[in-house]
Amino acid sequence: MLSSDIEERLKAIEQRYLELQFKLSSSDVVSDRELLSKLGKELKEIEEIYNAYRSYKKLASDLDGAKELLKNEELKDLAREEIERLTQEVEALEKRIRILLLPKDPRDAKNVILEIRAGVGGEEAALFVADLLHMYQKYAEEKGWKFSLLSANRTGLGGYKEVIALIEGEGAYSRLKFESGVHRVQRVPITEAGGRIHTSTATVAVLPETDETEIQIDPKDLRVETFRASGAGGQYVNTTESAVRITHLPTGITVSCQDERSQFQNRQKALKILYARLRDFYERQKEEEIARERKQQVGTGERSEKIRTYNFPQNRVTDHRINLTLYRLQDVLQGKLEELLQALIEHYTEERLKALA
């Protein structure tokens, strides 16, 4: 059963929902577009909890009624079956309500800055970065999200030392935020003549897109440099200084962009990446302070963690955080990530529920 504290919260939400419905039908609110939008947004935010609580009360009432039927000898067997069914439904709804009442991550609705860097493995690691980039791009396409490159440091064989992309779409960060960490690949590289299996790594960072209103940067803290852009292996050389490098002096964070022909476009892309990295930097500082105070840390998919292995000989993908193994590697690399991502979301939701309990 739900605790008295949760019941009180649900009753307050129910009352607020009914108040909002009444206000939204009043002529004063209807004539005020700004207020109408604000109250409508609040109503939508609590609607799912309100509906779940209504269903919970109905099921709880039905369960009480079924228990009363146990007193009737003729209906006792039927009542037991009904009690078993209703009890399962009530328990499932209680869990859903607890999840709905968890504090929302305000970043969940944001777009994503995706950064993938080659780790151990030389050229093979760079090729693995290209595979991961393709995987996330295909997943974004399946979700109907917009995927665009912000920066790419290419290698001669078609890989990337580093690649940064912007993924724009509803709930992008909420689905991808647990992808941050070290991804490992085990396969025979195209550069291997002896047919031996190599292990290479790439690091993935998923950052919520951040705009200028969220992070204040003093222009004096930025060093902006321009230089001539060049492609991998000298395939493309720009005769003008269109490439841009921006350094945030207090933190030492540096971002370079050279993919666009225009210096202005490269500067805008570099600033977009810089804002996301700075927000991530400051949030990590805050988390480290909290962790030191508590002397413990909940797993959050840290970038230093080895989170997933892609094993080609066995057609296997294993996520080490949740001990989930799928034997359909090629499907995953083609963007069929939903099963993995949903399992991760459910795992970390359970962890949060346990922490609150």
Q: What is the pLDDT of residues 183-230, one digit of tens each?
A: 999 999 877 767 788 899 999 999 998 877 778 888 899 999 988 776
* Residue 259 in this model has a pLDDT that exceeds 50: yes
pLDDT for the residue 258: 85
Lowest mean pLDDT segment, chosen from 247-261, 295-309, 335-349: 295-309
Question: pTM of the entire structure?
Answer: 0.75
Percent of residues, the chain, with pLDDT higher than 70: 91
pLDDT for the residue 353: 84
**Confidence band (pLDDT; 50, 70, 90) for 314?**
very high
Mean pLDDT of 277-286: 86
* Residue 231 in this model has a pLDDT that exceeds 60: no
Looking at per-residue pLDDT, the higher value among 4 and 235 belongs to: 4
The secondary structure of the chain, three-state, reads CCCHHHHHHHHHHHHHHHHHHHHHCCHHHHCCHHHHHHHHHHHHHHHHHHHHHHHHHHHHHHHHHHHHHCCCHHHHHHHHHHHHHHHHHHHHHHHHHHHHCCCCCCCCCCCEEEEEEECCCHHHHHHHHHHHHHHHHHHHHHHCCEEEEEEEEECCCCCEEEEEEEEECCCHHHHHHHHCEEEEEEECCCCCCCCCCEEEEEEEEEEECCCCCCCCCCHHHEEEEEECCECHHHCCECCCCCEEEEEECCCCEEEEECCCCCHHHHHHHHHHHHHHHHHHHHHHHHHHHHHHHHCCCCCCCCCCCEEEEEECCCCEEEECCCCEEECCHHHHHCCCCHHHHHHHHHHHHHHHHHHHC
pLDDT for the residue 5: 86
φ and ψ at residue 258, rounded to 5 degrees: -145, 5
* Residue 342 in this model has a pLDDT that exceeds 50: yes
pLDDT for the residue 57: 94
**Confidence band (pLDDT; 50, 70, 90) for 61?**
very high
d(CA 163, CA 128): 12
**Confidence band (pLDDT; 50, 70, 90) for 141?**
very high
pLDDT for the residue 103: 84
Render pLDDT for 90-129 as a digit per residue (tens, 0 to 9).
999 998 998 888 888 888 989 999 999 999 988 999 999 9
pLDDT for the residue 189: 84
Q: Quickly count: other Cβ atoms within 10 Å of residue 218's Cβ.
A: 9
